[in-house]
Amino acid sequence: MDLSPYLSRINYSGDRSTSHDTLRALHLAHVLAVPFENLDGYRGVPVSLEPADLFAKIVTARRGGYCFELNGLFSLLLEAMGFEVTRLIARVRYGAKPPYPRSHQVLVVTVSGEPWLVDVGFGGNGLLEPMPLEAGAEVTQHSEAFKLLPADGGEYLLQCRVHGEWESLYSFTTDPCQPIDYKYPNYFHSHSPDSIFMQRRICTIPTTEGRKILVDRTLSVRRQGKTEKSAVESEADYARLLRDHFGIVL
């Protein structure tokens, strides 16, 4: 892990101590700089989870990725900086129907004995900053509000307030995972016609006022609770939007 180019990629020049303030600042910097996107798998490019490949894609090529890529590389950055990281896997509920498979990587980072839920790789209404891993916790992060509830089977359930209603994002236990545990769901998401990531081109990034979402031929810009939509006119227009709104050049 080469810290300097990674921190430069996410526009971070702050403190490097293993404090909660550092963790919060790193998390926010990451989600505001690195988009969630599935463009490689959708266009038939293999999605590798090898650390060197993740670094080359996200840092060197200034691309984004989905959860296994973004949280995978972020966990290595945090460990290189001295943080205590536990890798978990979650059941996505947002936009899905039961039964919910374990298909999303999340992290728990322990700082001074206190565990924090960390996730820089959830494409729809995801966390902007860490939140306490405590049932009943409720936080406001810029324009978003989140709460963590107890769920069946000893799971935690993360919810986000969307249009005034609480929506379930995903549920998870604190059973630790190894990198090998993500290879199977990663293969499904980047190969199976049943995966939403093989059905639609998705690119999204939060802002401190809302979120920008490019799905197939529609760009949605959410700002202070209001959403403006515009149609993508052509592939050239699509490439321009990727560059201007998400910093991606394929």
Residues carrying an active site annotation: 67, 104, 119
CA distance 216 to 55: 26
Which is nearest to 23 in space by CA: 147, 96, 114, 156? 114
Question: How far apart are the C-alpha atoms of 43 and 37, rounded to whole Å?
Answer: 12
Instruction: Map residue 32 onto helix, strand or coil.
Output: helix
The answer to whether 167 touches 78, Cβ cutoff 8 Å, is: no
Structure tokens at 108: 């728990």
Buried b (16+ CB within 10 A) or exposed e, 179-214: eebbeebbeebbeeeebebbeebbbbbbbeebbbbb
